[in-house]
Amino acid sequence: MNILVCVKRVPDTGAKLRLTEDERAVDTRRLGFTISPHEECAVEEAVQIIEREGGEGVVLTLGPAEAEEQLRDSLARGMDRAILLEIDGEDWDPQRTAEAIVESVRREAASGHQYDLIIFGNESADSGGYQIGVRVAHALDLPCVTGVKGIDIRGGVLQARREIAAGWEVYEVQMPVVLTTKEGLNLPRYPSLRGTMGAKKKPFSRSSPSHSEGDLRLQRVLHPADQGKEVEILGEGPAAAPRVVELLEKLGLLE
Amino acid sequence: MILGIIEHDRGVIEATSLQMLTLGRGLAEQTGTSLEAALIGDDAASLEETIKPFGMAAIHRVTHPQLDDYAPAAWAEAVVQLGRARGAQAILAAGSDRGNEVLAHVAAKTGLAMAANCAQVEAGDVYRVLRLRWGSSLLEEAELSGEIKLLSVAPHTVEATEARCDTVTVEDFEPTLSEADLRVKVTRRDETASSGVTLKTARVVVGGGRGVGSAEGFAVLEELAAVLGGIVGGSRVATNNGWRPHTNQVGLTGTRIAPQLYIACGISGAIQHLVGCKGAKHILVINTDREAPFFSKADYGVIGDLHEVVPALVAEVKKRG
Ligand SMILES: Cc1cc2nc3c(=O)[nH]c(=O)nc-3n(C[C@H](O)[C@H](O)[C@H](O)COP(=O)(O)OP(=O)(O)OC[C@H]3O[C@@H](n4cnc5c(N)ncnc54)[C@H](O)[C@@H]3O)c2cc1C
Ligand SMILES: Nc1ncnc2c1ncn2[C@@H]1O[C@H](COP(=O)(O)O)[C@@H](O)[C@H]1O
């Protein structure tokens, strides 16, 4: 079973978002970087499937040279090989990003690497476009199930479960297939020391796709209007309990 | 015209589709055209009366023998054919799981750009949209071009309001579907019996984060939730460490909650957590660190160790009860 997982490097923003002076991005000068939890689950799922069934797990990103960090992290968690589609400057729009990923998959296929499964996050952590996986699936003429929180593979048929208001719905599809996943699919492992050491020696390829402008063009990012709450401190330590209970009474929560 | 895709699950509609229609009506007014709606599948027929007051000039009943249950690519193919037949200048969906999914398929099939989770839209040759990023922690102004504009409407950013058209025509439309469009279709459903209070519907949520320290540490939070008729939730640190199941996670990649009171214990207040509890009426934060960012987003605070404060609270509630 050969599996491709696509991840995106995003700032680990914590409690406060600062913007760059040109107001086109988050100021990342004092931030670490990560990938979306949805994508972490995609990586974990790929590693688990390959542990069971054998095969190769490839992790891909389109991003700056520094995105090597996120790819190495996925290698440390058990993926076998990484592909960096290196770009400089700003994020590409979803159409162009999908095209670059499709081109890479086609190049891989031409050199004998076919994927049985291609996994994306349901949405990217920062931009949340909800579309790159679906675009790639159509370009490759593959079926696509989005928002997946449960996967079961038997004899070339993949069962994908997804959560709906009424419970779960199940889709059965013939592989190869494209999936987009949501956190909750599994509990991702932390990379082991051995994994981290090993990741440095795993195959890593770089190429630079060429860019053209897309039809969704970011102009500016801005903060939403602040609700501006003024906190009322009810007290310190256990001594605050009576005042909290008064509050519960006031809110009508003790009936 | 502006075409709105009505999302439904076997004939059950969500408020987000009505919000989408309201934004679509505004767009139709801006551009001097009309709003039309697509109701896909036989089981959607019952929704005609529900959506009529929201101001569309036409409802298209989209039916096909194979559209008997949800199939995202088939829904999208139907929308593409209908949109082309009617000369749509924009196609709208709710910014929900299914809405975004169907629209993404429309985008992929047509090669058009799609802007997800828009809160405001200004029409023109090029549309100017205001869309949500980081799960609504940031806004983005963007330009959207293309022959047909594809937009999903961010849930609960537009208030659904009625404005009935004098006449609403209802027309049947049968799309041509291919095998490929039907490769992905709901095969089976497992409906979990609704087991009383859930994180989404609870009146009180008691949340725990890194400060709780362990799975066992959640026992006192469970106790507090129990005496208040509430339910326990947690931050991603709590779920990622395996202290709580992911179904307990509040936030961007977890559940969005809307209780009367959210009691957040040992949680710092990262933006990805905050977007999950924006819907809470009141927030009480219990944290040892007065500088924790959560305090500036809370209504009430207690400074202290949750392992001491929460048991004292349980005792005090029991005393009054
Ligand atoms: C794309 C993305 C998506 C994410 N999605 C989510 C999500 O859905 N939900 C989510 O929660 N997070 C999410 N996160 C993670 C988020 O950024 C934070 O890392 C996380 O919310 C922090 O959890 P925490 O507040 O429990 O831990 P910390 O940030 O470590 O805070 C612990 C707090 O506990 C206090 N404390 C310590 N001991 C005690 C004590 N004894 N008594 C009282 N207080 C104490 C500390 O002062 C501190 O404020 C996401 C991150 C990314 C990048
Ligand atoms: N720059 C990128 N490189 C690789 N994969 C990406 C990139 N951007 C997005 N993706 C993948 O596509 C998914 C959906 O992204 P989006 O359509 O932006 O919400 C993400 O969760 C990733 O798996």
| B194 pLDDT tier (thresholds 50, 70, 90) | low
pLDDT, one tens digit per residue, over B258-284 is 999 999 999 999 999 999 999 999 999
For strand B114-122 and strand B127-133, is the pairing parallel, antiparallel, or unpaired?
A: antiparallel
pLDDT of residue B310: 98
DSSP type of residue B152: E
- Of B110, B111, B149, nearest in space to B30 by CA: B149
Q: Do A143 and B133 touch (CB under 8 A)?
A: no
pLDDT, one tens digit per residue, over A190-218 is 999 999 999 999 999 999 999 888 999 99
pLDDT of residue B191: 85
Instruction: State how far residue B309 is from chain A, nearest Cα, in angstroms.
Output: 4
Instruction: State how far residue A67 is from chain B, nearest Cα, in angstroms.
Output: 19
Instruction: State how far residue B301 is from chain A, nearest Cα, in angstroms.
Output: 5
pLDDT, one tens digit per residue, over B149-187 is 999 999 999 999 999 888 999 999 999 999 999 999 999
**Global ipTM:** 0.96
Shortest-distance Cα residue to atom 8 of ligand 2: A8
**Ligand 1 pocket residue status of B21, Cβ below 6 Å:** no
DSSP A194-230: HHHHHHTTS-EEEE-------SEEEEEEEPPPP----
| B195 pLDDT tier (thresholds 50, 70, 90) | low
Nearest to A216 among B113, B294, B300 (CB): B113
pLDDT of A118 over the 80 cut = yes
Shortest-distance Cα residue to atom 16 of ligand 2: A129
pLDDT of A228 over the 80 cut = no
The answer for residues whose C-beta is within 8 angstroms of residue B288's C-beta and 6 or more apart is B211, B266, B303, B304, B305, B306
Percent of chain B with pLDDT over 70: 99
Which ligand has its closest atom nearest to the C-alpha of A67?
A: 2
A55 touches chain B (CB under 8 A): no
pLDDT, one tens digit per residue, over B82-101 is 999 999 999 999 999 999 99
Interface of A with B in 93-112 (CB under 8 A): 93-95, 98
Average pLDDT in the B206-213 region?
98
Nearest to A166 among B9, B104, B143 (CB): B9
Average pLDDT in the A89-109 region?
96
pTM of structure: 0.96
pLDDT of residue A16: 85
Q: Which of B69, B252, B253 to mutate to test the interface with A (most CBs of A within 10 A)?
A: B253
**Ligand 1 pocket residue status of B308, Cβ below 6 Å:** no
pLDDT, one tens digit per residue, over B55-75 is 999 999 999 999 999 999 999
Average pLDDT in the B218-245 region?
97
**Ligand 1 pocket residue status of B252, Cβ below 6 Å:** yes
The answer for residues whose C-beta is within 8 angstroms of residue B281's C-beta and 6 or more apart is B258, B259, B260, B261
pLDDT of A184 over the 80 cut = yes
Nearest to B143 among A170, A217, A233 (CB): A217
As a whole number of angstroms, the distance between CA B35 and CA B60 comes to 11
Task: Provide, as residue numbers in chain B, all residues whose Cβ is less than 8 Å from the Cβ of A239.
Answer: 312
As a whole number of angstroms, the distance between CA B64 and CA B41 comes to 7
pLDDT of A103 over the 80 cut = yes
**Ligand 1 pocket residue status of A12, Cβ below 6 Å:** yes
pLDDT of residue B174: 97
pLDDT of residue B222: 98
pLDDT, one tens digit per residue, over A8-37 is 999 998 888 899 999 999 999 999 999 999
Nearest to A128 among B132, B303, B305 (CB): B132
Instruction: State how far residue B33 is from chain A, nearest Cα, in angstroms.
Output: 23
pLDDT of residue A14: 83
